[in-house]
Amino acid sequence: MGYMKLFGIALAASFAVDLLYLFVFRRRKRVTSGEKAQKGHVIHKVLFFPDAQVSCPRQSQPGGCKMRRCKFTHDTTSLSQLKQYLCSAKKTLDLCVYTISCLDLARTVVDLHHKGVIVRVLTDKEQMEQTGSQVWYFRSEGIQVRHDNTPYFMHHKFAIVDNSLLINGSFNWTRQAITGNSENLLVTNSRRIVRPYIGEFQRLWDTYEPGLLKKRREESEKFLKDLKASETSNGV
């Protein structure tokens, strides 16, 4: 019976070591590795443009396209995939794009806004004022839009869906970028990639707050006025 006990203890000890490895050692590894800490599956999808055929803009509407002889394609294209990723938004959509003139994409964004997704758009001042820009459409539908106030370009072209999915590349949100240009978009939910873009969006969003700009101008004007008054009273 002494040997049977020894045998039992050895088995139990070996089992304990296995469990220790599985739940302690592996857990620690999971925490230290950024990529593995990702909950769910990792998305790394690359989309290239131009699309060989033009996607049907009615395809993504409820019930799909009902046209009998529709001249547009209903197959999967880079544009249709981009729209699918955008439409996966449940809570927020942060859009930071140099230019947006594609009505189909603008409608997708507006539809999300109407569904209750909190949409924020950050764009370039000069591009915003160009003919064809959809910024007027966003504003008329009640979407918050901010723009830079520099002589340089706000040249980013990225979108963040639900603070967890990044869509980024060379792609401007124009019709020419979809059907003519050579363009690319990377779609990823890797936290190590998405997190810096969330930070950059918030930084620019805060920087270009219209109220803040007005406040700063008023402060500067008051400071200069006080300085002038002080100089006059001192007889400078």
In angstroms, the CA 232 to CA 222 distance is 15
Q: Does 54 bind a copy of itself (CB under 8 A)?
A: no
Which of 83, 113, 147, 157 lies at the binding interface for a copy of itself (CB under 8 A)?
157
Residue 68 Ramachandran class (φ > 0 left, ψ -120 to 50 alpha, else beta): alpha
In angstroms, the CA 161 to CA 157 distance is 14
Q: Least CB distance from residue 235 to a copy of itself, whole Å?
A: 41
38 HSE (CA, 13 A, CB side): 18
Which residue number, 90 or 155, has a Cβ lying nearer to a copy of itself?
A: 155
Residue type (1 letter), 62:
P
Q: Which residues contact 215 (CB under 8 A, 6 or more apart)?
A: none
| Contacts with a copy of itself, 56-95, as mask; x by CB under 8 A | ----------------------------------------
Annotated active-site residue 114? The verdict is no
Which of 19, 28, 35, 210 lies at the binding interface for a copy of itself (CB under 8 A)?
35
* Residue tagged 């999971």 (tokens): 30
* Residue tagged 């927020």 (tokens): 92
Annotated active-site residue 156? The verdict is no
Residue type (1 letter), 191:
R
Beta carbons of 147 and 208 less than 8 angstroms apart: yes
Q: With contacts defined by CB under 8 A, how many residues of the chain interact with a copy of itself?
A: 52
Q: Least CB distance from residue 189 to a copy of itself, whole Å?
A: 12
Q: Which of 44, 155, 215, 222 is catalytic?
A: 155
H/E stretch holding 144 = strand 144-147
147 beta partners: 123
Which of 88, 170, 220, 230 lies at the binding interface for a copy of itself (CB under 8 A)?
170
Q: Does 210 bind a copy of itself (CB under 8 A)?
A: no
Annotated active-site residue 157? The verdict is yes
Which two tokens mark 78? 């880079």
Report, as residue numbers or ranges, the catalytic residues. Answer: 155, 157, 162
Residues of this chain that interact with a copy of itself (CB under 8 A) are 2-4, 6-7, 10-11, 14-15, 17-18, 21, 34-36, 42, 44, 46, 48, 50, 98, 148, 150-158, 168-172, 176-177, 180-184, 186, 188, 190, 192-193, 196-197, 200, 204
